[in-house]
Amino acid sequence: MQLQPDFDLTGRNTLGLRSRARFGVVIERPEDLAAAAEAARAKGLPLRILGGGSNTLASEQVEAVVGVMRIEGRQIVTLPDSGRAVTAGAGEDWDEIVAWTIAQGHGGLENLSLIPGTMGAAPVQNIGAYGLQLSDLLYSVTAWDGASGAFHTFGPEDCRFGYRKSRFKEAGNRHVITEVTLRLPQPWAPVLIYAGLDTLDASATPEEVRQRVIALRQSKLPDWQVLGNAGSFFHNPVVPPDHAARVPDAPQWPQADGTVKLSAGWLIERCGYKGATRGPAGVYEGHALILVNHGGATAADIDALSSEIRTAVEDCFGVSLVQEPIRL
Ligand SMILES: Cc1cc2nc3c(=O)[nH]c(=O)nc-3n(C[C@H](O)[C@H](O)[C@H](O)COP(=O)(O)OP(=O)(O)OC[C@H]3O[C@@H](n4cnc5c(N)ncnc54)[C@H](O)[C@@H]3O)c2cc1C
């Protein structure tokens, strides 16, 4: 474990923002965390963890020691109740794990195919797509607690999962996830409730569902390696039903507690921002929920556009948008 000064993060965030950290360090083993935290303390800096940088808004100068999570390892395990699960190190690539579990003969993760990033970051924002959330499958999370220096294992009920949130997100940088175990449903049945998957037959295999999800995602989302982006830039806002009734044209999803989730992309598009550009920052022309870097943007460029959009949506619809990517 070696601290690297003036650590370049430009190629380590999917928005491709110009960014450098005071120091960087690669975390390859759980034991590296205590040493990295000690090194950060000695420099008077916080330790911040970075996975694939796909849900990160990286500042131009990051005043921290950035620990790049690279803990590897994966296996299919049998749970105490005889169920099957996949256990993987926090630095494993999420989509590689999805593909690997299917290749091992286990369905369950296929609706979450092609989401960029690492295994360890997946519980932080409770990743979700195509009718499935990580919390539907989570068996346990092992994390290092920066406050006590101890490792803890959390079950699903301890993780306080919600829509794109968890205790790990709430607590900022306190817990560093080192390993995640996800239950692989037995018997497996495809989850085909989402538009685009509902035309598949109930006899579809996990690989067929995966390929459909990949095709749908590739048709809607820009490839971050070609056009820098962080996926959905804002959460879909959840509002009381009387508020939702005032925007009857907006796509709406009633929630179990009586509130209504609105389409943030629709609200932004109605404010005229689809395809808008502000210097090197812009809104993707194919989907108003995605902010993009046309080349050379910094976090300040994205911040300015994001703030303009939030003000416009607040003025037009009285809705406060919450940003999804986390500031580094
Ligand atoms: C094109 C595109 C499409 C996307 N589609 C979706 C989607 O469909 N659904 C969805 O939910 N998300 C989506 N995302 C967002 C993103 O892929 C996920 O949030 C992903 O889980 C982030 O993983 P990461 O490793 O890149 O996290 P990073 O961006 O590196 O980190 C995100 C946050 O998690 C923290 N973190 C990272 N690793 C750890 C760890 N081991 N322990 C503790 N904290 C940690 C970081 O400190 C940071 O605060 C998309 C992003 C892109 C670019």
**Measuring from atom 8 of ligand 1, which residue has the nearest CA?**
129
Pocket test for ligand 1, best of 65, 98, 115, 154 (most atoms within 8 A of CB): 115
Ligand 1 contact via 154 beta carbon (within 6 Å)? no
For residue 232, the CA-to-ligand 1 centroid distance in Å is 11
Q: From the CA atom positions of the chain, what is the Rg in Å?
A: 20
pLDDT score at 140: 98
- The answer, yes or no, to whether any atom of ligand 1 lies below 6 A from the CB of 206, is no
| pLDDT at residue number 269 | 97
Q: Which domains does the chain have, with CATH numbers?
A: 4-69 (3.30.43.10), 74-217 (3.30.465.10), 223-327 (3.90.78.10)
Please tell me the pTM assigned to this model: 0.95
**Given this model, what pLDDT does residue 157 score?**
95
Element housing 209 (H / E): helix 206-220
Q: Which two tokens stand for residue 149?
A: 């220096």
Q: Residues 6 or more apart from 95 whose CB is under 8 A from it?
A: 113, 114, 115, 116
Mapped to the 3 state alphabet, what secondary structure does 50-117 carry?
ECCCCCEECCCEEEEEEEEECCCCEEEEECCCCCEEEEEECCCEHHHHHHHHHHCCCCCCHHHCCCCC
| Ligand 1 centroid, distance to 133 Cα (angstroms) | 13
Measured distance CA(43)–CA(118) in Å, rounded: 27
Separation of 115 CA from ligand 1 center, angstroms? Answer: 8
What 3-state class would DSSP assign to 301?
helix
Closest approach atom of ligand 1 to CA 69:
41
Burial class (CB in 10 A: 0-12, 13-18, 19+), 43: middle
Ligand 1 proximity of 313 Cβ (cutoff 6 Å): no
Please state, in angstroms and rounded to a whole number, the distance separating the CA atoms of residues 78 and 151: 22
What pLDDT, on the 0 to 100 scale, is given for residue 104? 97
The mean pLDDT of the chain is 96
Residue 257 burial class via C-beta count within 10 angstroms: exposed 0-12, middle 13-18, buried 19 and up: exposed
Nearest CA to ligand 1 atom 18: 55
**Which residues of the chain are modeled with pLDDT < 70?**
none
Residues with catalytic function? 164, 232, 324
- 160-180 pLDDT, tens digit per residue, is 999 899 999 998 889 999 999
Query: What pLDDT digit, counting tens, does each position of 265-299 carry?
Result: 999 999 999 999 999 999 999 999 999 999 999 99
Compute the distance between CA of residue 179 and CA of residue 153 in angstroms, rounded to an integer: 9
Q: How far is the CA of 118 from the centre of ligand 1 (A)?
A: 7
- pLDDT attached to residue 173: 85
Name the residue at shortest CA distance from atom 39 of ligand 1.
Answer: 121
- Here the tokens at position 2 are 């070696």
pLDDT of the residue at 313:
97
